[in-house]
Amino acid sequence: MPKILIVDDDTTTRLVLTRTLQREGHDVTAVKNGEEGLISARQLHPDLIICDWMMPLMDGLELCRQIKTDPTLSSIFFILLTGREKVSDRVEGLDTGADEFLLKPIDPHELLARVRAGLRQGTLMKELNVANQALMQANERLLARNELLESLSLTDQLTGLLNRRALEQALPHLLPQSSERDLNARYRYLCLFVIDIDHFKQVNDNYGHLTGDWVLQAIASKLQANIRTNSLLYRYGGEEFICITPGINPQNAWIYGEFLRSTIAERPIQVSGDLLIPITISIGAAIASEFNQLNDRDLLLQADEALYRAKREGRNRFRLSPHPEFMKNCLIANTKPSDSGALAQDFAMP
C-alpha cells in the first residue's frame, strides 16, 4: 500500500485530501505544518508528499528544499499545492525541486491522476536506484577483481616476491631520481644487485624440483627478512633475484652486498628434519648516479657483468661494477675495494 504524506495548515484541505486518497487504498498521514512534515518524512519515508506552498513556520518551498537535499529522501515524489498561476512561481517551485503542481481549488479527479503518475514515477526511480546500486556493487567487484589480477600479474607465485614485470615497470621511474644533480635530491644513488644461487641445477638434479622450489622460497624469505627497509626485492626468473636499493653509495654498496651474500652462506637451508643443503649466492651490482647516468637496460647489463665476474672468480662472491666516483676516490687514496667479510661485521642494518 503506497504511503502518502499530506502537509497543509488548512484543516478542511487536509481532511478532503485524506479521505479522497484513503478511498483509493492509500496509507495517508496528514500534518499541519512544514516542521511536522519534515519530521514525518524522515520517520515514514513516504512514497509521495502533497504539500501546500503557503504555510507558517516552514513553507512548502523550504520543506521541498529540505526533502530534495536529503539523500535518503530526495527520490520522494513531491506535489506542491498552490493558488499561484504565474509562470515565474512555477519556475521557482521547479527550481526548488518540486516534481508536480496542483492548483487550488483541487479537483479530485486531477488529484488522483497526478498521484497515480507520481507513484509510477516514484516506483521507476526506486527501481533505477536499486539498479544503480547493483551496478555500483558490480563495478566495485570488478575493480577489486582487476586490482587482484594486476597484483597477481606483478607477483611471483612461488616466492610471493615482486616479479620481472614489476621490476620492468618500476625501474625506469626510479632511475631519474638517481640522476639529479641537486645535492638535496632524495636519491643521489640507485644500486641494483643481481643475486644468483650457485649450482642451483645440482639441487634440482640431486633432490628434485619440489626441493628446488623449497630452496627458492627459503632464499627469498631469508633475503626479504634481511634487506634494508627501503630495498625492493624481485624474483627475476629461475634462480635469479634482483634487489634495488636507493640512496646507497658505492662504499656502502660493498658492505651491503657482502652482508647479503653472507646472510645466505652462513648456514645451510633446512629442507626437512634431516636434510640440510648448503647454499651460496653470487652477487653482481651496479650503481646509477649523477656520476654514472644509466638507463634501466644498461644498469642491468652492468650488474649482470659484475655477477658473471663473481662466478668466474669462484662463486660465493660479491662484485660491484666499477663506479667512476668510487674508482676516483680509490685512486686518490691509493686503495682498492675490498671483498673481505670483515666489512660486513661493521655493518649495522638501518
pLDDT tens digit sequence for 289-306: 888 888 999 999 999 999
Q: Is the peptide bond before 105 cis (omega within 30 degrees of 0)?
A: yes
Q: Are 302 and 186 found together in one domain?
A: yes
- What is the pLDDT averaged over residues 110-122? 91
pLDDT tier at 346, thresholds 50, 70, 90: very low
pLDDT at 323 exceeding the cut of 80: no
pLDDT at 268 exceeding the cut of 90: yes
- What is the pLDDT averaged over residues 269-298? 90
Q: What is the mean pLDDT of the chain?
A: 85
Q: Are 183 and 237 found together in one domain?
A: yes
pLDDT at 244 exceeding the cut of 90: yes
CATH number, domain at 124? Answer: 3.40.50.2300
pLDDT tier at 343, thresholds 50, 70, 90: very low
pLDDT at 284 exceeding the cut of 60: yes
Domain count, the chain: 2
Residue 75 covered by a domain: yes
Catalytically annotated residues: 239
pLDDT tier at 183, thresholds 50, 70, 90: very low
Q: Are 109 and 219 found together in one domain?
A: no
pLDDT tier at 133, thresholds 50, 70, 90: confident
Residue 115 covered by a domain: yes
- What is the pLDDT averaged over residues 125-139? 85
Residue 149 covered by a domain: no
pLDDT tens digit sequence for 150-166: 666 889 999 999 999 99
Q: Which is higher by pLDDT, 6 or 334?
A: 6
In SS3 terms, the chain reads as: CCEEEEECCCHHHHHHHHHHHHHCCCEEEEECCHHHHHHHHHHHCCCEEEEECCCCCCCHHHHHHHHHCCCCCCCCEEEEEECCCCHHHHHHHHHHCCCEEEECCCCHHHHHHHHHHHHHHHHHHHHHHHHHHHHHHHHHHHHHHHHHHHHHHCECCCCCCECHHHHHHHHHHHHHHHCCCCCCCCCCEEEEEEEEECCHHHHHHHHCHHHHHHHHHHHHHHHHHHCCCCCEEEEEECCEEEEEEECCCHHHHHHHHHHHHHHHHCCCEECCCCCEECCCEEEEEEEEECCECCCHHHHHHHHHHHHHHHHHCCCCCEEECCCHHHHHHHHHHCCCCCCCCHHHHCCCCC
CATH number, domain at 199? Answer: 3.30.70.270
Lowest mean pLDDT among 49-63, 85-99, 193-207, 244-258: 85-99
pTM over 0.75: no
Residue 218 covered by a domain: yes
pLDDT at 122 exceeding the cut of 50: yes
Q: How high is the pLDDT of residue 324?
A: 66
Cell for 89?
A: 512561481
pLDDT at 121 exceeding the cut of 50: yes
Residues in the chain: 350
What is the domain extent for residue 169? 164-345
Residue 97 covered by a domain: yes
Q: How high is the pLDDT of residue 178?
A: 55
Q: Are 11 and 99 found together in one domain?
A: yes
pLDDT at 141 exceeding the cut of 50: yes
Q: How high is the pLDDT of residue 293?
A: 86
- What is the pLDDT averaged over residues 176-195? 69
Residue 96 covered by a domain: yes
Q: Are 207 and 339 found together in one domain?
A: yes
pLDDT at 61 exceeding the cut of 80: yes
Q: How high is the pLDDT of residue 6?
A: 95
Q: Are 200 and 119 found together in one domain?
A: no
Asked if 260 and 283 count as a contact pair (C-beta separation under 8 A), the reply is yes
